[in-house]
């Protein structure tokens, strides 16, 4: 039985969404294709009907995650203060599967193949542009302030995820939020 193009697109989107969350939760090397397809309710063999290889899926999952961050953190925020409150929160630190892909996986990007590095570049430059926009400026050229604020946001979340002391995590996030 041949599936419609619409059905195939829906299944592909489901796989990308599952991969996006799973990769942010477990890391780029922490998710196998068979496990991912099982989570999506599909067989491992069906993977190649939707993607050429794992790198294509990872790249699409990274871009999907970047769009999720844009929608969840930036779209409804009236200013950078609102962005900082959401981005620099305990919830974001505790749930990388729902959070910013740059903070969750950015350190792994340089060791990936070109297609995946390109997707991370899309995510990182998109984050910089979104911060610039919330500062009230045009996306190009980026201001030093936008770059500084984005680096602070990502760095604070990465550090907070490394620390086992809840009081220190709260302190770190609080200090970072004051920099808005």
Tell me the pLDDT tens digit for each residue of 50-91.
999 999 999 999 999 999 999 999 999 999 999 999 999 999
Decide: helix, strand or coil at residue 50: coil
Give the per-residue pLDDT at 141: 86
Domain of residue 35 covers: 5-177
Q: What is the CATH number of the domain that holds 13?
A: 1.10.357.10
The torsion angles phi and psi of 85, rounded to 5 degrees, stand at -60, -40
CA atoms within 13 A on the CB side of 145: 11
Decide: helix, strand or coil at residue 57: helix
Give the per-residue pLDDT at 42: 87
The residue with tokens 């990502």 is 154
Give the per-residue pLDDT at 80: 95
Is the model's pLDDT at 3 over the cut of 80?
no
Number of domains in the chain: 1
Say how far residue 47 (Cα) sits from the centre of its chain: 22
Q: 147 CB contacts (<8 Å, ≥6 apart)?
A: 128
Q: What is the pLDDT of residues 120-173, one digit of tens each?
A: 999 999 999 999 999 987 767 899 999 999 999 999 999 999 999 999 999 999
Burial class (CB in 10 A: 0-12, 13-18, 19+), 162: exposed
Question: Residue 94's pLDDT band (boundaries 50, 70, 90)?
Answer: very high
Q: 162 CB contacts (<8 Å, ≥6 apart)?
A: none
Assessment of whether the complete model's pTM goes beyond 0.85: yes
């Amino acid at each position: 039985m041949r599936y419609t193009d619409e059905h195939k697109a829906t299944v592909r989107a489901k796989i990308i969404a599952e991969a996006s969350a799973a990769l942010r939760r477990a890391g780029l090397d922490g998710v196998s294709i068979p496990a991912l397809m099982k989570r999506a309710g599909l067989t491992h063999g069906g993977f190649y009907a939707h993607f050429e290889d794992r790198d294509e899926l990872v790249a699409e999952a990274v871009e999907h995650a970047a769009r999720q961050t844009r929608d969840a953190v930036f779209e409804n925020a009236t200013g950078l203060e609102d962005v900082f409150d959401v981005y620099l929160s305990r919830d974001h630190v505790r749930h990388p599967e729902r959070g910013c892909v740059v903070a969750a996986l950015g350190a792994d990007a340089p060791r990936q193949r070109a297609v995946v590095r390109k997707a991370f570049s899309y995510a990182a430059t998109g984050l910089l542009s979104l911060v610039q926009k919330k500062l009230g400026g045009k996306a190009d050229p980026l201001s030093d302030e936008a770059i500084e604020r984005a680096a602070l946001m990502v760095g604070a979340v990465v550090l907070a995820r490394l620390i086992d002391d809840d009081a220190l995590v709260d302190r770190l996030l609080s200090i970072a939020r004051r920099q808005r």
